[in-house]
Structure formats: C-alpha cells, structure tokens
Amino acid sequence: MKPNASHPLRNALREFYDKTALDREAGTVADWKIEVRANFLTLLQKEQKRTLLEVGAGVGRDSLFFRENGLEVACIDLSPAMVALCRQKGLDAQVMDVAGLDFPDESFDAIYSMNSLLHLPKTEFPGALAQIRRVLKPGGLFFLGVYGGDDHEGIREEDYAEPKRFFSSFSDEHIQREAARVFDILSFRAIDCDCGASLHFQALILKKEI
C-alpha cells in the first residue's frame, strides 16, 4: 500500500529538508561515512554491479560519487529542494517515497540508503524493505545505513530541527531480525559516531537471493 504523501510526518520532513537544502549542500561529510560508502563501492565493483538507486539522496553527494566511479545512478528523495540540487549535478533524480517506489520489478543491481529509512514509522519499515527487494535484481545488493542502538519511535525532543523530525531506531539485534526477514545479511557493523549518547550507526550490507 502506498503511503499518504500528505501525512503530517512526511510534511514535516519535507518542510525541514526543503528549507535546509542549501545548508546541507555547503556541509561536509564525516570520515566514517566516506569509508562505508567507499567499502560498498568496492563490493559493487567486485561483483560487477552496474546500476544503482539511492533512496533518500539528499543533495546528491553520494549519488554523484557512485556515478563518477562508473555506475549508472538514479536517486529519489521526499524533498523537492533536495531533488533540485541533485538535478543541478546532472543526476537522474525524482521526488518519490520509498514506501511506494515507482519503478518496475528488478530494475537495479544495487540500492544505497544512508540515514533515510530511519524516518519511517516502524509499521512501514517491513513494507519499505519489501519495495526495495522488489526493485532489486536477483543477487542485488542493498546498503542500509541508519542510526540505532536503542528501540525508539517518535519525535526526539533533543532534535535541533524545526519542525522536529520523526525517527525510528532499532537495537542491533532487532534491525538484523527485520532485515533477515527480507534479505540475506552479508555484513553488519556498529560504528561509533557523534549521534547521541544512546545511538551509533548501523551499517548493513544485504543481498536479494538469486
């Protein structure tokens, strides 16, 4: 079932990311994010993957990296302002919600999502994974990166954003259980980061069975 695009949670996310798009364009990328991105590229090159979809592309920095390293890239984001910045970089970008991907079955060799699915209510998380699996080719690879470590759902009052954003997070064991219902887990890493006292970054590389 496709989500309601006018849902208040999505409206708040769209409003925040639209108004901060230029600030994010001017920002820098943490070293650990550069490392996990490069590691995924190495795996894609080893397995001779050619096409990639980025879910929650933001300003398009990661999509541009993958394209500059030889991949055919498409990207989506909920924010029209973010999509506009992606298109300014020459990227194939669309405004789209991961919970209702408008691509044919088995369209991509790989999917990359950095800190995007953490904005979904937990009731929608399995459906989003199923959508991602649907558009992956057999043997396709999926990088899922989110902040987690505790089981939480709702507005984080410490969030600096206005309007405050909705977050879901999972314990390490919980997110692996959810992922394993849909994909084979090739690897899981918990990475220390400056993302809150109870949180760390969860990096999963998943595979759709052949």
Q: How confident is the model at residue 1 (pLDDT cuts 50, 70, 90)?
A: very low
Greater model confidence, 7 or 154: 154
> By the 8 A CB rule, do 131 and 101 touch?
yes
Residue 150 — left, alpha, or beta (φ > 0 → left; ψ -120 to 50 → alpha)? beta
> Global pTM?
0.93
Per residue in 30-53, pLDDT (tens digit) is 999 999 999 999 999 999 999 999
Specify the pLDDT at position 210.
87
- pLDDT greater than 50 at residue 66: yes
Q: How far apart are CA 139 and CA 193, in angstroms?
A: 31
Q: How far apart are CA 77 and CA 98, in angstroms?
A: 8
Specify the pLDDT at position 158.
75
> By the 8 A CB rule, do 53 and 75 touch?
yes
Specify the pLDDT at position 108.
98
Per residue in 166-207, pLDDT (tens digit) is 889 999 999 999 999 999 999 999 999 877 667 899 999 999
Greater model confidence, 4 or 125: 125
Give me the chain's average pLDDT, please: 93
Give just the sign of the alpha carbon dihedral 166, 143, 132, 176: negative
Q: Which two tokens stand for residue 176?
A: 């692996």
CATH H superfamily, domain 8-207: Vaccinia Virus protein VP39 (3.40.50.150)
DSSP, res 162: S
Q: How far apart are CA 202 and CA 204, in angstroms?
A: 6
Q: How far apart are CA 11 and CA 7, in angstroms?
A: 6
Per residue in 111-159, pLDDT (tens digit) is 999 999 999 999 999 999 999 999 999 999 999 999 999 999 988 777 7
Specify the pLDDT at position 155.
84
Specify the pLDDT at position 196.
67
- pLDDT greater than 80 at residue 3: no
What are the contacts of 125-130 at 24+ separation with CB within 8 A? 125/168, 125/178, 126/178, 126/181, 126/182, 127/1, 127/99, 128/98, 128/99, 129/178, 129/179, 129/181, 129/182, 129/183, 130/182
